[in-house]
A and B are shown apart, each in its own frame.
Chain A
Amino acid sequence: MASPNLKSIQQSPKSGELTTSKSRTPLVHRLVWLTALTVFPLIWAGGLVTTTNAGMAVPDWPGTYGYNMFLYPWTTWFFGPWDLFIEHGHRLLGSLAGIWCLLLVAAACLWRSPFHVRMLACGALALVITQGVMGGVRVLNVDREIARLHGCLGPAFFAYLVAMGVITSPWWQRVATAAHWKGPDRAKDASATSLGEWVKASRLVEQRLQSQRYMTLVVLGLAYLQLVLGASMRHVPESADPSYFRVLVWFHIAGAVCTAISTAALCLTPRCLVPGVNAPRWLLAGLVGLQIGLGLGTWVLKYGFPDWFAEYGFAQSHRIVSNDFYQVQVVTAHVAIGSLILAVATFLLVRLWRAEFCLRAFVFGLRSEESNLPHGTIEGAASPNIMAGSENLIPC
């Protein structure tokens, strides 16, 4: 059977059309990003609370020194001690994130967003409430273990919002349209014109997207593991044995090396022409590099230089100042950038997943159109001859 010309496919109005743009609610999308933009400084503030050990600066919850949290005199807060400023500020910022989540649920329901978006919005609300309650219990119980859980859930919530931001974005819709995959930009360099060649080339794209997705998944897992280890180090019980902390540190270092290697591997994979999945890889690599630098800085600013530097004057004259500006900011930045890495990895993972899924669905649609093959039989459809010289066709 002769393969139809690619141009004819490009002109096909319905091939690969997966969803319609009517299912998107811009307001929900904007609210999601607004919440995420609130959560990042919230994580930074939470990091400051832990770095300066200010978690117990306000001993009650949900009120603040007997006041309703929102009615606490702002002059006492703003001009009071740093501990109080940062802890109460963290609570207010957390409350703001909670309010955004409430509005998000309301918007998703009122504007009749798709079911999965509504469910995701409800999930965000549940997470922010859990996180807030956990912070409160940490204060009431004076319990560092809960603080550790609180510190682990925060970045997860941030990553969740970012994933939601991708799902509600225009890109999510655009990538599902046939034009995205067979538009003029994709086809103009094509030397082969048969559908078979195109399908085969797309199969390679799909494989590359898949391998990138697996690598991103590894980076994501490692990034979260690093966050958990970091939170465990920051909230280490006062009476813990040194061997416990030592194990945490070595695992944290090993995790950093693995994260760096896997991120480098992800960046070294061939560039993808699928829009929206290339830049995040390099952003991720930049952030991982920055994070390693911040990690080293954290150690030096908190514990000084290792013994290897004993002969160097700068190491010997280095004087650590407890809770000075540089120490506090670098340590906190290390925490916050860790969350950002998690978020960017999530962003990339969700996009790769979506791109791969849509490409597969699109190819599946074409194959079905071409040969009326039953569903799920695109594998092995093209012969090896068609594959030859088809690299130019690969939009990736």
Chain B
Amino acid sequence: MGYDEKNCLRKGDILLRTRANTRSRWWGSGGLDLWISVKRMAILVLLGGFVGCTPPPQFRENALEWHKQARTAGLKPGESLPDHHRHDVNDVVSDWFGTPDQPSVPLVEGTEDPLMQLFSPEGLIRAAGPVVSRDEKSSSGLYRRHCSHCHGVTGDGRGPTATFLSPYPRDFRLGKFKFKSSPTGTPPTKADLKLLLQNGVPGTSMPSFRLLKDEELDALVDYVIYLSVRGMLERFLIAATRDLDEDERLVNLPKEMRYRDLPAKARMEIGVPVRSIVEPSRSVESDQSVTRSEAAESPDSKIESDEAGAESTEPLEQTTSTYDPETVEEDVTFMAEEYLLPISEKWLGILEFEAKEVDVPAWVTDRTHVERASQLEIGHQLYFGTANCVQCHGETGVGDGQTNNFDDWTNDWLKVEGINPADPEAWAEYVNAGAHPPKPILPRNLRLGVYRGGDRPIDLFRRIQYGIEGTPMPASLTLTDEQVWALVVYVQEMPFEPISRPATAKKSENQRPVR
């Protein structure tokens, strides 16, 4: 849908109308509309139209992934995959997931799709869209209020402030989250994400949102998962186009026709049902969501695509003459089952996950415990031996071991062609496509006693047991729980350990000053 002045004023009108439903003591509902029109005219005249409307933000396509896939497919710099592939991916993703202002959820398994358990409509309504208040006590647009300036509207880690931050803000589209209680390779639980929001990450730009209400944190968690699922699907679809011939399409339509040009009704019948979370024709205070089938029946409804393309008004019969609905349906169903379902199953699986009950041994919390000294010694042996922590964290634990590693968000494109991170010319094209300049991920200086994923014993236990997703910190699959606890104790003790301990300070270059 094109953006114009009329729409620009719409959001405020909706809110005014919302209030008018409950409090029309001054103007009444009809009078309020008249007042809005008069006010709109007066304002535009007063300002002489010198201030234009800022178009609402849109989801940004994953240009980095397109570039990476083009290079993987053997295309030369400057060449790209066919435009109709790009259009197909963008159209399908935006059809299923809506826009930042009007998110939607694809219901592959019908209206009772379990995907709705991942992100509740109430949560998405509160987190999505522009920052506005619906009444005196609650506001929506939480994501744009608190997160988008770093993580970006798309959740691609490319918000306006991103390049200044260290480490870079996370790109949710990889579906990887660092600090969690679930095993490596699985998504985090909602509780993990909420805990992270509450605590923040010390030593980084990720703030603690402990002043937000519980339901606001839940809404943000829901929206982050929504962005992650959306971004993962987009990446999978982009990767899928790489194997297509130039004339082939993800959605079997005539070359000049785009999926978004199909009328909403046609997409509803042959595509995947979509649950629109914020319906443009309804007040934000009315029931939160309707399925697209309901929406299609409503005469004033509209499903928007991600770009400012006009909705086709062609009758269904006319458009079906130019393509085969059955093959389109097959293609769309295939995409949903092949790419979307595995993602949603992965996330849904974690809803059932319950972190393993772990009893914290007494000698971990009690510094005077008789067993503590022996456990410390075990931890010390493990650090230099089986666990091989010394490789990255260094012999003195100041994090000066292997310091030339990169996280998965960088490795994702850095390793495609074996790019040398030290050569800016080699990675310039990827940075132009949306990557951040590569920055090595440094092992933690354990002597500072600051742990980004939390400083409770159980947090350290999980960091060692499951590793840190997306980073070189591996899961310790071979260690027993008791050994992990011994390492926890040793790590906790490191800030107090003399740096000149003979067994730990073999190399003089490792003896960096501890401040």
A interface residue numbers (CB < 8 A to B): 53, 55-61, 63, 65-68, 76, 80-81, 83-84, 133-134, 136-137, 139-146, 149, 236-246, 249, 302-304, 306-307, 310-313, 315-324
Contact = CB atoms under 8 A, between A and B. Distances in A.
B160 A245 contact: yes
Contacts of A318: 202-203
17 contacts: A58-B133, A63-B26, A67-B23, A81-B137, A140-B43, A236-B160, A238-B148, A238-B160, A239-B57, A239-B60, A241-B158, A242-B162, A245-B163, A245-B164, A317-B203, A319-B208, A322-B208
Contact of A307 (B162, B166, B200): B166
Interface in B29-69: 39-40, 43, 46-47, 51-54, 57-58, 60
A53 B131 contact: yes
B132 interface: yes
A309 to B, nearest CB: 9
Interface string B181-205: 0000000000000000001111111
Give the interface centre of B53, B152, B160 by most chain A CB atoms within 10 Å: B160
A145 B52 contact: yes
Nearest to A243: B163
Contact of A60 (B19, B131, B144, B204): B19
Contact of A313 (B11, B24, B515): B515
A320 B199 CA distance: 9
Interface residues of B, number: 72
B445 interface: yes
B58 A239 contact: yes
Contacts of B144: 238
B165 A319 contact: no
Contacts of A63: 26
A80 B137 contact: yes
B20 to A, nearest CB: 7
Contacts of B58: 239
Give the interface centre of A63, A143, A240, A302 by most chain B CB atoms within 10 Å: A143
Given A142-B12, A145-B52, A238 B153 contact: yes
Contacts of B136: 65, 76, 80-81, 84
A321 B200 contact: yes
A134 B51 CA distance: 9
Nearest to B14: A59
Contact of B207 (A137, A307, A321): A321
A144 B160 CA distance: 14
Contact of A322 (B12, B203, B211, B513): B211
B419 interface: no
A4 B149 CA distance: 72
B448 interface: yes
Given A80-B137, A141-B8, A143-B8, A324 B161 contact: no
A145 B57 CA distance: 13
B87 to A, nearest CB: 20
In the complex, the 3 A-B pairs of residues with the closest C-beta atoms, listed nearest first: A59-B15, A239-B57, A245-B160
Nearest to A82: B211
A84 B139 CA distance: 10
A307 B163 CA distance: 12
Contacts of A237: 54, 57, 160
Nearest to B167: A307
Contacts of B212: 322
B145 interface: yes
A322 B209 contact: yes
Nearest to A133: B46
A58 B132 CA distance: 8
B202 A137 contact: no
Nearest to A321: B208
A142 B11 contact: yes
Contacts of A143: 8, 51, 53-54
B54 to A, nearest CB: 4
A348 B60 CA distance: 48
A249 B16 CA distance: 37
B145 A53 contact: yes
A59 B53 contact: no
Contact of A59 (B12, B146, B203, B515): B12
B512 A311 contact: yes
A303 B12 contact: no
Nearest to B52: A145
Contacts of A145: 51-52, 54
Contacts of B40: 140
Contact of A303 (B135, B148, B164): B164
Contact of B200 (A65, A140, A310, A319): A319
Interface in B392-423: none
Interface string B121-161: 00000000011111111010100111011001100001111
B131 A56 contact: yes
Contact of A83 (B20, B133, B209): B133
A141 to B, nearest CB: 5
A250 B512 CA distance: 32
B209 A59 contact: no
B160 A244 contact: yes
Contacts of B162: 242
B92 interface: no
A246 B166 contact: no
A312 B203 CA distance: 10
Contacts of A57: 133, 139
Nearest to B165: A303
B203 A142 contact: no
A272 B210 CA distance: 53
Nearest to B138: A81
A257 B281 CA distance: 52
Nearest to A136: B43
B9 interface: yes
